[in-house]
Amino acid sequence: MRMLPRWLVVALGIIALFAIALTSLATVTVREAFPRTEGEVSSSAISGRVDIVRDELGIPQIYADTPEDLFAAQGYVAAQERFFEMDFRRHVTAGRLAELFGPEQVETDAFIRTMGWRRVAQAELGMLSPTSQRYLEAYTAGVNDWMAGRATEQMSVEYAILGLTGLRYRPEPWTSVDSLAWLKAMAWSLDGNNELEVERATLLKTLPADQVDRLFPPQDPDIAPIVTDGAVSGGAFRPGDRAANRRELDGLPAPAQDAIGRAGRLGQAVPGLLGETGDGGAGSNSWVVSGEHTASGRPILSNDPHLGTSIPSPFMQVGLHCRAVGPACPYDVSGFAFAGVPGVIIGHNARIAWGLTTPNLDTQDLVVERIRNGRVVSAAGAEDLQVRTEEIRVRGEERPRPLQVRVGPRGPLISDVDAQLAALPEPESAGGDESGDEYAVALNWTALRPTPSIDAVFALNRAGNFDEFRDAAAMLRSPAQNLIYADVDGNIGYQLPGDVPIRDGYDGSQPTLGWTRRTGWTGMVPFAELPYAYNPPSGRIVAANQSVVEPYPRPLQAGQSYGWRSQAISDRLAGQPRIDLDFAQSLFTDESFRLTEPLLPLLRDSYLADPWVREARDLLRTWDGQMAADSAGAAYFALTVRAMITLTFDDELPPELRASGGDRRYAALAELLKHPDDPWWDDVNTPQRERRDDIIARALLRARKEGVVLMSNDIDTWRWGRLHTIGLRHQTLGSSGVAPVERLFNPDPAPVGGGSAIVEAWGWDATSDNFRVTAGPAMRMLVDLSDLDNSRWVNQSGTSGHAGHENYDDQFELMITNRLQPFPFSVGAVDAAATRRMWLIPR
């Protein structure tokens, strides 16, 4: 997402040219913000000495005598390494980007203000346990201690560059609400299905329901869900039980469509808060096996969350260690954290390990509201709207822009924002019908209901067994996540936590009507009914965004993966009698593509009269089906698949719903291959009726032409890695359009294998002209429960958020070449890896 207005891009270009002439000064400016990592530093945020040990990757291991000192030091270190990232994130979650970047960000600010992320976070603060509140306050004190007495340009080079463009800005002190608000951003990126609801409603306006259903195929019954046996019985989930399930859809009236369209457009205004994903989408792989399948006789746990690519990485590695672990100081945990949030999100302590993937729970409903005389019409009668006015401050403008926010009984009216920004009439008169009633769309979302979810992070970090792990999981209400588990005693498990709405007679798959009786939530699914597994007979659990459990008595998920990645992992695990860490590490780069099974034989056998096209098609005759970076066959297959998706679907889809590189469209294509005469094959823009084989021939021709344009006419030089490259982009200045500035912040692109819906999930954006990676593993982790010091990890970019620092992108090449590094945990292992030591001393 380009954050900068045109005038600022020009200013940056002038500054960049000036900086080139003053290289020494530029170097000093960049290095001025680098963190101090050695020697004694006095701090007002702590009560006792804190040791901070770093290795050559800059990963901090923190040792303290109290939890408060531990989290204060984590806040201090996070600010040292990543403060601009933290500050940018809190501007996003507060709806204040326009203050930094100008009018182009007003739409984003308005949408987030309408949802009220920060207001929800403020309400959550008072709901937390006193212990969690203390830890948040300690973390905040650490951040602010680092900020104290530091000039803005000394905090990060981004401030220095923006200051040269005329921005006069001093970051405000950090607050606990800033940390909590980031959970809303996580939930927005990882949770819900409002875009799918808009898509269904849009398609049903012009296409028959059965043809729309082809775009949402059911998961292959041969692909195993996460929990292979279990059902709700007697108010609890019970492994081994079976139950039936039934779902149905609702229709929508024509007058509501415009409001739905406004709501859908505004959803695109929110930036990729966990990185830019594109059509490749975000996802994750995780698995755990018991000791009966490992060489060591103890479990191995693996996790690689797939988020949008960015620099710095969404995650920051850290170790948090009480010197004497006990009731007074119960933390001895290492793993991956979010800068700005205390604790470890994914990792292990001395007893247990855990990983996270997205379950794609259906936690959002779009509700079309009928508003009459300023009140919301419902089945029970009219209900009042809550109305408030917020002010959006915009860089370069003296007066703030007013924003009227309306909240109905089922959530904020997000369709209002589009009308206001387009300078249409006031919301009360926009989107109405002939009767004078107005239609608006409300977002009913579990994350907009305050919950003390951050309590779960602290509880998870100190859990010592499966019961304590489940108790911690029960506190995680939003964002919902698949939690996999292993412990040093040899147990493995899984738990689905999170708020899941109980709907009154509808399934939430498309927008519903607020004036009917079938729109409300009657509560949340009790935690006791949510699926879990503990030491399953197979000794294996794979959670890679596929279905959690089938069947289930209520609507549970929406937009989940079709299971191609999970099945590939399951097959590889089942085929290896004794798994060691080297084999486990090799699974990260499994490049098999399930779409080759139904499609490759058809491509190989297709009739082609043109020898020029046959020459390229013959690459597929000897291709092994692996999406390897050095493969010419993989390049031609990818070009052909993209062409098939475009030729099959785009003639009948509106522009905003065209070309997807995610596994849902792949699954739809795979199903259509079984039906050569399906209406989707026909090109509605031609007089004749096309069939499957016609589209295949056209796709092979188009792919041959695109291969020449993107690579060369010589197919011997074609390589998937020439098309499929990953280049990490800084979320703000990395897309400035000013080459010297972009070179400062963005590492050089590199070729990679894999792709969307593949275990090596370097997903690409099918709406672009190339196959540039937009989403992929943000980190990789293997935990060896037989010897925690034998574990391995790697991050997508590096520990530091400071461009030019040695730890800014030093893990990037390690990641794309799958070279995981030792993951030290014990005092001895940390000391052996230490290269720098710093001591925080009470001031």
Catalytic residues: 284
Instruction: Please give the full DSSP string across 273-316, using - where no structure is assigned.
Output: BTBB-GGG--EEEEEEE-GGGBSSSS-EEEEEEEEEB-BS-S-E
CB atoms inside a 10 Å sphere around CB 170 = 9
Instruction: For residue 567, report the phi and psi dihedrals to the nearest 5 degrees.
Output: -70, -35
CB atoms inside a 10 Å sphere around CB 770 = 12
Instruction: For residue 205, report the phi and psi dihedrals to the nearest 5 degrees.
Output: -70, -30
Q: How many CA atoms lie within 13 A of 537 on its CB side?
A: 5
CA distance 175 to 545: 34
Q: Is 651 annotated as a binding residue?
A: no
Instruction: Please give the full DSSP string across 463-525, using - where no structure is assigned.
Output: --SHHHHHHHHHT--SS--EEEEEETTS-EEEE--S--EEESS---SS-EETTSSS--EEEE-
> For residue 299, how far is the Cα from the chain centroid?
27
DSSP state of 326: B
CA distance 389 to 408: 15
> For residue 14, how far is the Cα from the chain centroid?
35
Q: Is 487 annotated as a binding residue?
A: no
- Tokens 């300690």, residue? 138
Angle of the 176-190 helix axis to the 67-93 helix axis, nearest 10 = 60
Query: Percent helix, strand, coil in the chain (nearest 5)?
Result: 35, 20, 40
For the chain, how many residues are written? Answer: 843
CA distance 44 to 41: 10
Give the strand pairing for 375-378 and 386-392. Answer: unpaired
CA distance 320 to 61: 6
CA angle 547, 549, 551 (to 5 degrees): 110
Buried b (16+ CB within 10 A) or exposed e, 274-309: bbbbbbbbbbbbbbbbbbebbbbebbbbbbbbbbbb
Peptide bond just before 577 cis, omega within 30 deg = no
Q: Is 258 annotated as a binding residue?
A: no
Instruction: Please give the full DSSP string across 411-443, using - where no structure is assigned.
Output: EEBTHHHHHHHTT-S-GGGTTB-TTS-EEEEEE
**Exposed, middle or buried by CB within 10 Å (0-12, 13-18, 19+), for 560?**
buried
DSSP state of 770: S
User: Which residue ranges make up the annotated binding site?
Assistant: 197, 362, 365
User: Which residue ranges make up the annotated binding site for Ca(2+)?
Assistant: 197, 362, 365
